[in-house]
Structures are given as C-alpha cells and as structure tokens.
Structure 1
Amino acid sequence: MLKWALIFAVISLVAGLFGFTGMAAGAAGIAKVLFVLFLLVAVVFLVLGYKGVRAISR
C-alpha cells in the first residue's frame, strides 16, 4: 500500500510539472488516502503483534 502511495505521489509531481493540475490534484488525493490507510493498518498490526508477544511470553 505504501508502494502505491509513493507511485501516486510521483505521478502527482510529474503531472504538476507538466501543467496537468487536475490530474495532479487527483493523484495527490489518492496518495494521501493510501498513506493514511497504510498508517492505520501499520498501527493495527503493531498493536496485534504487541498483544501476541505478551500472550506468548506469559
């Protein structure tokens, strides 16, 4: 998911460089959404991993 967020961020930068501001804004919006989803999933997995280690170590 982070890979796709970075790809859309690069697309946004290139489109903005060539003057395609509408496409650049759309790609930037998609990149932001994917990055937030990545952060949420990463936090969920960190919490689940922490709980799993605590359950095993008891």
Structure 2
Amino acid sequence: MKTTNEEKKMEAVHLHIAEQHEWLRRHAFDTRKSMAQIIREAIDLYKHMTEAEEDSR
C-alpha cells in the first residue's frame, strides 16, 4: 500500500534536549523503540492531556 505525501506529511524538528538525552537514549535501548517513536508517543500523551483539560473547563 503506497502512502502519498498528502496522506502522511513528516516534518523535521530539531530540539536541544541535553539533559533528557541520556534518559531518552537509555529508555529507547531498554524498550527497543526509536527515540523518535518515544517522543511521538510523549507528544500524543501531552496532546490528549491538554485536550482533556480544555474540555473540562
């Protein structure tokens, strides 16, 4: 199944996370996930948390 650029657009984001990098690197190794996948999951969790807070107002 082919995915076109319109269906799935990826953006490169450069972050400076010096203090969190070692934890992220180790967690990625321990869970056998990529660091990018862990960050995507964290963003999704944060998004759902903030949306829930907004809905409760």
What TM-score do you get using the length of structure 2 for normalisation?
0.44
What TM-score do you get using the length of structure 1 for normalisation?
0.44
Q: Which has the higher contact order (CA 8 A, sep 6+)?
A: 1
Tell me which structure has the larger Cα radius of gyration: 1
